[in-house]
Structure 1
Amino acid sequence: MDLQLKSKTAFISGSTQGIGFAIAKQLLKEGAKVIINGRTQKKIDLAIRKLTEEIPDADVYGIPADFANADEVNQLLAKLPDTDILINNVGIFELKPFAQIGDEDWSKIFEVNVLSGIRLSRLLLPKMLEKKWGRVIFISSESGINIPEHMIHYGMTKTAMLSISNGLAKLTKNTEVTVNTILGGPTYSDGVAETITQIAQAQQQDITEIKSYVMNNYNPSSLLQRFIDPSEIANLVVYLSSPLSIATNGSALRADGGVLNTI
């Protein structure tokens, strides 16, 4: 299927690894021009090298910025060209008991996970509305619906994404601009892999055993019964980026492996 993305330009926040990197790869395979983002130029260069090794004709470059640093974000915004597709993907998470989540923790996770999408959308959405074509996609999580007791601050940010995305979609009437949210499930991203590895080393257990324990104890309702691969999230994102997805707007679509047990 031709997703009609060859003339489109996409920006993906937090895309030097994990879900963002997988989205970049899929968009490049569809012929889109992609602007990636990471905290440092070194990370961007490494990601571009990996992408171009797999896709030699990839039209890709990057803009560094740490979304926890307002000055760096402002510099990134000043450098961003007109963009057809905005993927609000950047995010951080941590396992932390509620009583130990300090004000700084709440502020930082909101700054990165929520304000990043607000700032980028505030810049790029009006230009899309002017052209009457564009795509804005927020990468949220099933944790925004089923708030994890050990990551309440993280869950809060993912719920906020749903509100922002739904509200922005109401601004797109009578255009071919859409704003949607992906509710991802437990995905074996680089960050999750690092956490699993640390737990396995601390407990002197096999990584496979820890992965199985985490799935069985924290995601027992999963129908997939395994971690989701980042590419499996990217497949849905790339479809939503396509002109073919015009009838899907203001929606929260699940790519959660069946973790959410709601209709």
Structure 2
Amino acid sequence: MKIDLSGTTAIVTGSTGGIGLAIARGLAGAGASVVVNGRTQAKADATAAAIVKAIPGAKVRGVGADVSTAGGCASLVKAVPDADILINNAGIFEPKSFFDIPDEDWGRFFEVNVMSGVRLSRAYMPGMLKRNWGRIVFISSESAINVPTEMIHYGMTKTAQLAISRGLAEMTKGTAVTVNSVLPGPTMSEGVEAFVKDLARQNGQSVDEAASQFVKQHRGTSLIQRFATVDEIANMVVYVSSREAAVTNGAALRAEGGILQTIA
């Protein structure tokens, strides 16, 4: 199967690093005109240039906008009025005891992880419906189902994404627009790598030892028994963004290495 997204415009929020960057690279490699998004224009431009250098002929541009705010989402929409593919990837996480999470953190996590996708889907989905083709993908997490006790506020936002995604999918009935979620498991993005390195320093371990121990202790049901790579997650996202994924709609697609012990 050859995925060809030429002629489409794709926006990937929070794509100057980690899973978002891998998704942007994957979509660009499949021929989409990709909009890389980060909080600053300089970082977005630098990332776009790096993708073009790695993929000669790729069509990539950067748009600096902080999508954790209503104003930032509006700036992104102003810069890119229409999109065929929207990847709601921007997100934050932080291990913290439930009893130490203040109200402000609950609000901050909800604004970044949930409202960014709500606002941008509200802006771009009408155009997709009018053109009768489009893809919206929310990058959720296995934590949406296995809510981690060390990050309950994060898990809450990931569960909310599943509800929003499924609700929006119901609005696409009879059209060629799809809305889905992808649920990564532990993935070795830059942010997670920094977290694992910190664990390694605290415990006097190598990074590989700390990563292996984390999976065994906190995600013991993992069938792959390791962190995924960002490209492994991006592969699933590129597929569900494609024309070939026409009958995948309203789904929560698992890319978590078998952590979730369910058959559906």
Output the TM-score relative to the length of structure 1.
0.97
AA at the equivalent of 2:223:
L
> Per-residue deviation at 1:42?
2.6
Name the aligned partner's letter for residue 154 of structure 2. Answer: Y
Q: Tell me the CA shift for residue 67 of structure 1.
A: 2.6
Structure 1 spans left out of the alignment, 5+ residues: none
| In structure 1, C-alpha distance between the alignment counterparts of 2:164 and 2:170, rounded to whole Å | 10
Contact 2:166 2:251 in 1 (8 A): yes
Shift of the alpha carbon at 1:170?
Answer: 0.7
Q: Describe the superposition over 1:208-234 as per-residue Cα deviations: whole angstroms up to 9, x where unpaired.
A: 111111011011111011100011111
Partner AA of 2:49 in structure 1: R
Distance, in Å, in 1 between the alignment partners of 2:242 and 2:118 is: 22
Q: Does 1:115 align with 2:118?
A: no
Partner residue in 2 for 1:167 = 167
Residue by residue, what CA displacement relative to the aligned partner does 1:19-39 show, whole Å, maximum 9, x if unpaired?
Answer: 111111111111110001011
Secondary structure of residue in 2 paired with 1:244: helix
- Return the alpha-carbon distance in structure 1 between the equivalents of residues 127 and 15 of structure 2: 23
Partner of 2:66: 66
**2:81 matched to 1:81?**
yes
Percent of paired sites with the same residue: 52
The aligned counterpart of 2:183 is 183
Partner of 1:9 in structure 2? 9
In the aligned structure 2, how far is the partner of 1:10 from the partner of 1:117? 14
Cα deviation, 1:22-65, whole Å, max 9, x if unaligned, reads 11111111111000101112321331232122102110001112
Aligned pair count reads 263
Structure 2 spans left out of the alignment, 5+ residues = none
In 2: Cα distance, 1:67 partner to 1:32 partner: 22
Q: Give matches, 1:16-31, under 5 Å.
A: 16-31=16-31
Cα separation, 1, equivalents of 2:66 and 2:4: 32
Please name the residue that 2:130 is paired with: 130
Are 1:205 and 2:194 an aligned pair? Answer: no
Confirm whether residue 234 of structure 1 aligns to residue 218 of structure 2.
no
Q: Does 1:95 align with 2:100?
A: no
1:243 maps to which residue?
Answer: 243
Rounded Cα–Cα distance in structure 2 between residues aligned with 1:52 and 1:17:
15
Deviation at 1:4, TM superposition (A): 2.8
Greater shift, 158-167 or 72-81, is seen at: 72-81
**1:152 matched residue in structure 2:** 152
The two structures, once aligned, show a CA RMSD in angstroms of 1.1
Amino acid at match of 2:42: K
Letter in 1 for 2:255: A
Q: Distance in 2 between matches of 1:89 and 1:107?
A: 18
Code of the residue aligned with 1:34 in structure 2: it is V
Distance of 1:52 and 1:74 partners within structure 2: 26
- Equivalent position amino acid for 1:142 in 2: E
User: Within 2, Cα distance between the matches of 1:4 and 1:144?
Assistant: 31
Distance in 1 of aligned mates of 2:203 and 2:5: 46
**TM-superposed deviation, 1:73:** 2.6
Distance 2:214 2:207 in 1: 11
What is the alpha-carbon distance in structure 2 between the residues aligned to residue 31 and residue 136 of structure 1?
17
CA distance in 2 between partners of 1:219 and 1:163 (Å):
24
Aligned-residue offset at 1:199: 2.2
Residue 167 of structure 1, CA deviation: 0.4
Distance 2:12 2:60 in 1: 11
Partner Cα separation in structure 2 for residue 116 and residue 146 of structure 1: 23
Q: How many Å separate the matches in 2 of 1:50 and 1:61?
A: 11
